[in-house]
Amino acid sequence: MRYIFSIILLCGLIGTINAEVFSLWPGAKSSNSYNPLEAKEFSVEPVVINGVKLEMRLGLINRNIYDLMADLKLHFSHDKVIYGGQNIILSKKLADGWEQRYLLFRIREGMPMLQIAMKIPPTLPTQFEWPDVLPITHDGQPFRIMYFPKRSAWYGAFATHTNQITSSVESSGWNAVSHERANFGSARGEIFIRPKPGAVMLVNFADEGVGTVYVRPLAKNKKSGL
């Protein structure tokens, strides 16, 4: 799950997290390479954002995050960096008006860093159809949907003045499994499991008036019956 939400972070939904935005050192020239930090790529995966077909490239950087600072200075001197916790988002404007973004994601101490790279268009469509698989509040105003074809997973974000998902969530076969079940009417988030067809759903509400929901099918488990 941390992996998926890292991708969401990369795609620009950063208003709901604590992040420090700053410019790197002046003076050095930026590289035009899409892989300036020389990550060893191991996967290219499609993703559809607001109906626009894009791809994300995954790679590993087997270097300590602090050792990367020299390369960041070299390749991103005139670009913006967003730093939150132990993760870094790098953003580079391209000649065609698109934006190349990189997320450096620290999995754990002693392991290579995960780099997720995506090329994002200057604007995304604002008119799109909200998928039926994603619940939404009665006053929700959708502004972002993401579909991951290889995972058959959906993510959606919407502006809202409430933190209540309609009762249809539980009446549709979803069972709340986190400790916030008893206070779901005023909870900030909840995790749901649906036995048949097996799926997991994460719902969260941020203080900025943004609701998010992520739904993914569960792998079939013969022992559990899911």
Residues 6+ away with beta carbon under 8 Å from 186: 163
CA-CA-CA-CA torsion sign (103, 41, 67, 32): negative
pTM, rounded to two decimals: 0.74
Closest to 157 in 3D by CA, of 174, 139, 169, 140: 140
Task: Domain ranges for the chain, please list them.
Answer: 2-120, 141-217
Closest to 148 in 3D by CA, of 54, 24, 25, 41: 54
In angstroms, rounded to a whole number, what is the distance separating the alpha carbons of residues 202 and 220?
Answer: 19
One pLDDT digit (tens) per residue for the chain, 226 residues: 555 555 555 555 433 333 333 333 333 333 445 677 778 888 899 999 999 999 988 899 887 666 776 777 666 765 666 666 667 788 888 888 898 888 887 777 777 888 888 899 999 999 999 999 999 988 999 999 999 999 899 999 999 988 777 566 877 888 888 755 444 444 467 889 999 889 999 888 887 788 889 999 987 655 544 4
| Helix, strand, coil percentages in the chain from 3-state DSSP, rounded to 5 | 15, 40, 45
Structure tokens at 92: 């580079």
